[in-house]
Copies of this chain bind each other. A is one copy, B any other.
């Protein structure tokens, strides 16, 4: 039950990885179907399948369809043999999911949280949520084997530390990975929030099975995650997708929180919408926003603009349409450059109504090259606000299931006597 895979050479590992991927993706697998799919000899496939059964990652699962003789035995991935945690730290909220090894949520928790409270307080809070989730949703015998984390700023993926994140005072260089790893004694992987969300959409959302796509988050800030050939493209310094600070209005005086002027985010992000909403409430051009402000609200938000647009306030409609047009104009250039087959739009502002998506689409199709938009879809995120925590869980799962990682944790898997239903209930 607890023997690690026997060798660690690339030849052996490649087959272990291939078999794991096949069994995870197929509804039913037998040694014969795997032999056929890999094109390899029956002996070597049986050997490696048995190794994976010994480690506890696969198990025998009854009989498949007979093709004449005795029905072959099926094998299946033991998704219930361990669990992982996905953490999404937002600018103003925390989301934590407990999932099985297939990324299926067993339980989750979300709450408001101010990221400016710093890493110590935030990670203490995450520790306590993890404890409660495990106590409530997980059979005691099922081990936690990994944690994935998304942070709202640039992260050096190799070390799991934030790098000069603009909206996270106190987090610059803080060893987020090491802090969580030593507390929970499991593998921890930390990435920026849009990469994590893109991975969530790739593994379990709108982009399932898509090879080249962009995930665009329109929240307080604006950012993108890039997938090239089915893999996250993180870029050289891990900051690929930082589209919020592309200069879109040369010569404008609008300052951005990054210190430059005329950035996309300063014109079309959630914070920009909130700023413009306040101005329109104060000068009376939006009756809806003026009334909200009159109710003793200290400030307005992008959600207020979305609600105003839904109620028919013309200024709110204009604000969202203009923001969508500016985002779409920038995306049009990036689409000509990257030629994705799908753009997934997510984030709080985008999810607050259909108007922004419609406006983004209009600009994208008007301004991208015909060849680049020939088979392009622009869709709302299917995972909605959960893309982050689900994607964070997959950030850990994808790394855990690489052959070189298997030896480090599979000895801890729960024994096979556990019925699958108990863990996935």
Contacts and interface: CB of A to CB of B under 8 A. Distances in A.
A172 to B, nearest CB: 12
Given A233-B228, A329-B247, A239 B369 contact: yes
A372 interface: yes
A252 to B, nearest CB: 13
B338 A235 contact: yes
Interface in A368-423: 369-372, 374-376
Interface stretch (A8-16, A121-129, A286-294, A353-361): A8-16
Contacts of A40: 7, 9-12
A132 interface: no
Given A15-B11, A337-B337, A247 B372 contact: no
A346 B12 CA distance: 42
A330 interface: yes
Contact of A231 (B229, B238, B336, B372): B229
A250 B328 CA distance: 13
A334 interface: yes
A163 B282 CA distance: 54
A272 to B, nearest CB: 18
Interface in A1-27: 7-12, 14-15, 18
A242 B10 contact: no
A337 B228 contact: no
A106 interface: no
A242 B333 CA distance: 9
A224 interface: yes
A243 B38 CA distance: 40
Given A336-B243, A338-B226, A154 B330 contact: no
A369 B245 contact: yes
Contact of A339 (B10, B18, B236, B333): B236
A170 to B, nearest CB: 18
Q: What 10 A-B pairs are tightest by C-beta distance, nearest first?
A: A235-B339, A236-B341, A240-B339, A9-B40, A246-B333, A9-B39, A228-B228, A14-B14, A239-B371, A11-B15
Given A10-B39, A12-B40, A164-B371, 16 more contacts: A9-B40, A10-B40, A11-B44, A211-B236, A212-B235, A212-B240, A226-B337, A226-B338, A233-B338, A237-B372, A239-B339, A241-B337, A242-B336, A242-B337, A243-B336, A330-B333
8 contacts: A10-B38, A11-B14, A14-B14, A229-B231, A236-B340, A239-B339, A246-B336, A333-B333
